[in-house]
Amino acid sequence: MFNFDFHNPTRIFFGKDRLDSIDQVVPADATVLITYGGGSAVKSGLIDKVKIVLGNRKVYEFGGIEPNPRYETLMKAVEIVRSENIDFLIAVGGGSVIDGTKFITLASSYKGDGRDLLKYGFTPITSEVVGTVVPIGTVLTLPATGSEMNSGAVISYEHGKFPVMSPLTFPKFSTLDPTITFTLPKIQVANGIIDTFVHTTEQYLTYPVDARLQDRMAEGILQTLIEIGETTVNEPENYDARANLVWCATLALNGIIATGVPVDWSVHMLGHELTALFGIDHGQTLAIVLPPMLEVRREQKRAKLLQYAERVWKIEDGSDEEKITLAIQKTREFFENLGVKTRFSEYGVEADQIPVVIEQLKAHGMTALSETQDLTLDISQQILERAL
């Protein structure tokens, strides 16, 4: 097991009818900006419910944060935070709204050009850079990204997606009410399941370091998703299935399964380029990239792939190679059974676009990816060709 640091101060309010808890944690004299995405949070009445809980606090609203939140949009909210002396931000939405709100608070306190904050990559942005920031809370509407209990964000600018990390952006609280997710479109639920699944594989399908509990927690998330995936897509008001999904999504990316183990993230790095270039949903890009990634990287990942086959998919028969092949095949079938296509060409992208993707990877410095930092552009090309 590797040495590690772990720190996650976000307070979770989980379950039915938990909005009232917001009143406990937002100061009574706070001036609040509620941020959200499209109109569904308004139409469903959720924004109004949050405002009722906030009572006499002065409340502003900022809607229109898009999926893959864009720098220019977020800077408009920064103006409101500054001009209205906002001292609490409440993000009502999924990962994009929460990610965007993390960027809003950092950029609001930063004295220079907000685009500077996109250059830090995986280097955490500290209070030495931005000073004191406005605290964030979240009301989660879409289980997927885990952003509700971590300190990371991904922000879109021009043709790139930029990671933004800061210990200052852990939400002070997140309200996770599975019933709020009942009205989500099926495809968003399916994408959320796949996002959670691939967050987990990125931290699990690497190489073994004798981190037994971390492995079993990761396997526990994957097994749970496999068990409840189709049910929660097809029975949107099945509370137990949805509750299990919500908690899996949060724990898949709150840092706990990453403690002491190597992490990969190359499926996400390739996926980000596909979203930026072709507008394919994040979850869909992961469903496209993961199976060929595992096929191409089976040598590097052999030991953990075999463990995955045996423990997660309960494959007992056959040679090691056959078990691994079957596990990858079952992974693809799992995604397809959720209603998500797993072939590049099914999204209208053909072989002639692969050089464009490779060019973008190169432009963004994605030339030595994976837990072993040996996933070159040539290997990315092989993966994309197998993804067709």
Residues that bind a second copy (CB under 8 A): 1-18, 21, 210-217, 219-221, 223-224, 227-228, 240, 243-244, 247-248, 251, 256, 259-260
Nearest approach, Cβ of 230 to a second copy (angstroms)?
A: 15
Nearer to a second copy, 166 or 380 (CB): 166
Q: Are 290 and 271 in contact (CB under 8 A)?
A: no
Q: How far is CA 357 from CA 70, 106, 124, 187, in A?
A: 20, 30, 27, 25
Q: What is the 3-state secondary structure (H, E, C) of 39-77?
A: CHHHHCCHHHHHHHHHCCCEEEEECCCCCCCEHHHHHHH
Nearer to a second copy, 128 or 299 (CB): 128
d(CA 297, CA 146): 26
Nearer to a second copy, 44 or 223 (CB): 223
Nearest approach, Cβ of 17 to a second copy (angstroms)?
A: 8
Nearest approach, Cβ of 366 to a second copy (angstroms)?
A: 29
Nearer to a second copy, 8 or 85 (CB): 8
Q: How far is CA 230 from CA 143, 188, 246, 293, in A?
A: 15, 13, 15, 24
Q: Are 105 and 133 in contact (CB under 8 A)?
A: yes
Nearest approach, Cβ of 368 to a second copy (angstroms)?
A: 25
Nearest approach, Cβ of 129 to a second copy (angstroms)?
A: 18
Nearer to a second copy, 153 or 261 (CB): 261
CB burial of residue 316 (10 Å; 0-12, 13-18, 19+): exposed
